[in-house]
Structure 1
Amino acid sequence: MAINIVDYELPYDTHNVYDVSFYNDRVHTMVTSNSAMVESWLSNVTPANPNHRIVGLDVEWRPNNRYHNNPIATLQLCTGPNYPGSLQIPAGTVLPGVCLDPNCLIFQILHSEWIPHSLSTFLANPAFTFVGVGIESDCEKLLLDYRLRVANVVDLRGLAADRLGVWELRNFGLKRLASAVLGKELEKPKSVTLSRWDNQWLTYAQIQYAAVDAFISYEIARQLNLRGA
């Protein structure tokens, strides 16, 4: 799998920014536990922008054991570029304040001091469609752990099965869906899947894993033309 990460090494305690590349796609990614930075990220996501109406959603938490049912540690959201989808922007164009790549937020919600009201409003806005694999159970855990309700969700397994006419896709995980729909191999090493997502500082491997999962969910929905449904 072609994947790499570029660390912007910002001199802030509030957040850091990375570019995570997956094959030919580059995902601009912010990692933060700071609620004000989450509000800032969400301020650029509007239902009027067709690139933003589909949102890849995923969550991670420290693996449970017989004694502990651990809460969600990170919430990942991924949208399309932050320019209006109707614009035709030539390759290589640089526009101040505009990101031409998909945008991902990795919110370390377990370490946040408070949950932004704007996040609750965003997740509850039916103008956005939140997509993922097994997304209903993820959203149930978000509601249980943090009282965050997600209004409009679509499971990619059923969407892919309906769009492609292949019933077996209803039983696929994200890795197999990425191969079937996008023709791209997605590695999901257990050493990362079962890692300490509750750590205050995420590793590069965790950041790549989290960003790519959210991006792949967004991209599968986009390729299946969910927006045109």
Structure 2
Amino acid sequence: MAVSIVDYELPHDTHNVYDVSFHGDRIHTLVTHSSSVVDSWLAQTNLQSRIVGLDVEWRPNYNRSIENPVATLQLCVGPDCLIYQLLHTEHIPQALHAFLANRSYTFVGVGIGSDVEKLLLDYGLHVANAVDLAVFAAHRFDSTELRNAGLKGLARQMLGKEVQKPNRITMSRWDNQWLTCDQVQYACVDAFLSFEIARHLNV
């Protein structure tokens, strides 16, 4: 199977850990709403690559007059992924503000401009150095077609990897306090693919 997940079922209210396997890669994934756990992840994760896959999820907006806030922020550095449940956190740690605002790091994703804007509007989180992978690939290969590619298309073209994005998960309740294994797997793979595509493109 191209993708699978192992739930460690930790006995904690603050966090849980999963291993997501995707086309031979194993991504160690931490899911938490705790600011202190996020502090620890930032302190312990090897951030030497300077490239960070970034993605966000929120509850789908079915009412045009209501704009639901970002529910989860996903950060991926190589085989390490953080899914931070912003909607349920007690407060956002200063270390995360500093990390996202550090121009030494390049945060990458497809359509990342709107994600970065929403993080700023919803939580005051400023991402200083963001690169849209579709735009970057379009420039690199002089292709207008790539500029409109989604993550699924870029993963296929750049990495030769197929990813499934079922609507039942894309449009699911990302604001729930406890995410399902399917949601964790989906959120992790999106951020991981962004990291891998950026690495492939030498962003």
Q: In the alignment, which of 49, 57, 61 is matched to residue 60 of structure 1?
A: 57
Q: 1:13 aligns to what SS in structure 2?
A: coil
> CA–CA distance in 2 between the matches of 1:166 and 1:143?
31
How has the CA–CA distance of structure 1 residues 2 and 46 changed in structure 2, closer, same or farther, with 3 Å as cutoff? closer
Question: Between Structure 1 and Structure 2, whose CA radius of gyration is higher?
Answer: 1
Q: Which runs of 5+ in 1 are unaligned?
A: 81-101
Partner of 1:92: none
Q: 1:177 aligns to what SS in structure 2?
A: helix
Runs of 4+ with deviation above 3 angstroms = none
Asked if residue 162 in structure 1 is aligned to residue 139 in structure 2, the reply is: yes
% identity of equivalent residues: 65
Which amino acid in structure 1 is aligned with residue 162 of structure 2?
E
Partner of 2:73: 75
Q: Per-residue deviation at 1:163? A: 2.5
Asked if residue 38 in structure 1 is aligned to residue 35 in structure 2, the reply is: no
Q: Which runs of 5+ in 2 are unaligned?
A: none
Q: 1:169 aligns to what SS in structure 2?
A: helix
Q: Per-residue deviation at 1:46? A: 6.0
Q: 2:26 aligns to what SS in structure 1?
A: strand
User: Counterparts of 1:14-33 in structure 2 under 5 Å?
Assistant: 14-33=14-33
Q: Mean Cα displacement is larger for which, 152-161 or 121-130?
A: 152-161
Q: Per-residue deviation at 1:162? A: 2.4
> CA–CA distance in 1 between the matches of 2:140 and 2:81?
26
TM-score (norm 1): 0.86
Partner of 2:99: 122
Q: RMSD between aligned alpha carbons? A: 1.2
Partner of 1:12: 12
Q: 2:177 aligns to what SS in structure 1?
A: coil
Q: 1:57 aligns to what SS in structure 2?
A: strand
> CA–CA distance in 2 between the matches of 1:45 and 1:5?
21
Higher strand residue share = 2
Q: Mean Cα displacement is larger for which, 10-19 or 109-118?
A: 10-19
Partner of 1:145: 122
Q: 2:145 aligns to what SS in structure 1?
A: helix
